[in-house]
Amino acid sequence: GSQEWRPEAGKRPVEARDKNGWTPLHVASLHSYLPLVKFLIQRGAMIHTDNRAGYTPLHHAAWSGHTQVADLLLARGALAMGTTQGGLTPFHCAAANGHTLMMQLLLRHGADPNAGDCNQWTSLHWATAGRQLHIVNGLISQGANPNLQGNGGIAPLHIAAEMGRAGTIRLLLAKGADVDLQDNHGRTALSIASRNSHHEVLLLQNQADGNLADSRGCTPLHKAAAAGSLPSVYLLLQGSSPASVTRRDGLLLTPLHHAVLCGHADVAGCLLAHGADVNAAGWLGKTALHLAAEMKSIPLMELLIANGADLSQKTWWKETAEDLALVKKPETRIFSSCALPGCQQMCR
């Protein structure tokens, strides 16, 4: 849409700003209008002016990769290490968008490739987030640390796992990234990937620990089960160091509990086939069957009973699965379509 420029009192027209604080020089730099950039500078446009987010014309030129504009701005005194309100330097902007020539130009003018933003994300973090594989490779080759963690303990490998970037994961691991590096919540790249159903196979092939728990006691298998990712669950169970199907989290819940809580019957079936304890009692003494009964899920209850779930097992509050199935809706025939003897016993 059109931008409305409002010259401030006592300011020249070249310093007019829109509602976001952009001047004509910001726009010209972003879109590489080199003749206009030259014209505005000749008319006295301020090189260091920033908009409301703290971006200077050089930030915009770096973001778009316009080296001729950036070269002119730098020659007129633009700061290669100027930062936005979020701590972004022009070098971060260039790295996030894959502009190699721009990065080289900024380095010649004193840019620090290892500088962090307000979240302590370096250019390597931003290149990873921007899916710029060639920049990631170049930065590490020039000495960037692939295991450097920002706020929250976030490393580039965690970002790649979150985004499901197989090529970046592969490159970072090949360049020395710690496959089991944990963030401040105890999450590894494998844990993050399992939650998002992304490329666990690459991490497992690089000896990722499938049983490393986060701060809540959840392993990658807990995350994959909750996410309902059957391929992920299968991979974790088949790895060179198979994930424990009976491992409990901080609430004493097993991966089977997580699968049932989230309604994933196919995942629950896979876990049971690989030795999950169908009668394992978690928080409040609830088994997977208790949870399925509370959810009124006939398919899950059928599956669990067929695999030996104990109908008489009680919670800490002395409730059976039948008791929980009848809560709030005592008139409903919860198991009316169930053909299994155990389910028929619980029907009324």
pLDDT band at 6 (very low <50, low <70, confident <90, very high): low
What's the mean per-residue pLDDT of the chain? 90
pLDDT band at 103 (very low <50, low <70, confident <90, very high): very high
From the CA atom positions of the chain, what is the Rg in Å? 28
- Tens digits of per-residue pLDDT, 124-173? 999 999 999 999 999 999 999 999 999 999 999 999 999 988 899 999 99
Distance of alpha carbon 23 from alpha carbon 35, whole angstroms: 16
Average pLDDT over residues 261-278: 98
Average pLDDT over residues 99-124: 97
HEC-encoded secondary structure of 200-244 = HHHHHHCCCCCCCCCCCCCCHHHHHHHHCCHHHHHHHHHCCCCCC
What's the one-letter identity of residue 35?
P
pLDDT band at 242 (very low <50, low <70, confident <90, very high): confident
Q: Which residues have a Cβ under 8 Å from the Cβ of 30 and sit 6 or more positions away?
A: 60, 61, 63, 64
- Tens digits of per-residue pLDDT, 16-46? 888 888 999 999 999 999 999 999 999 999 9
Helix axes 189-196 and 156-163, enclosed angle (nearest 10): 10
pLDDT band at 221 (very low <50, low <70, confident <90, very high): very high
Decide: residue 277, CB within 10 A, 0-12 exposed, 13-18 middle, 19+ buried: middle
Q: What's the pTM?
A: 0.82
Q: Which residues of 206-241 are buried (b: 16+ CB within 10 A; e: fewer)?
A: bebbbebbbeeebbbbbbbbbbbbbebbebbbebee
What is the structure's pLDDT at 300? 98
What is the structure's pLDDT at 337? 37
Q: Is pLDDT of 13 > 60? A: yes
What is the structure's pLDDT at 346? 34
Q: Is pLDDT of 338 > 60? A: no
Distance of alpha carbon 213 from alpha carbon 168, whole angstroms: 24
Distance of alpha carbon 78 from alpha carbon 71, whole angstroms: 9
Domains of the chain: 12-112 (1.25.40.20), 113-243 (1.25.40.20), 245-328+343-347 (1.25.40.20)
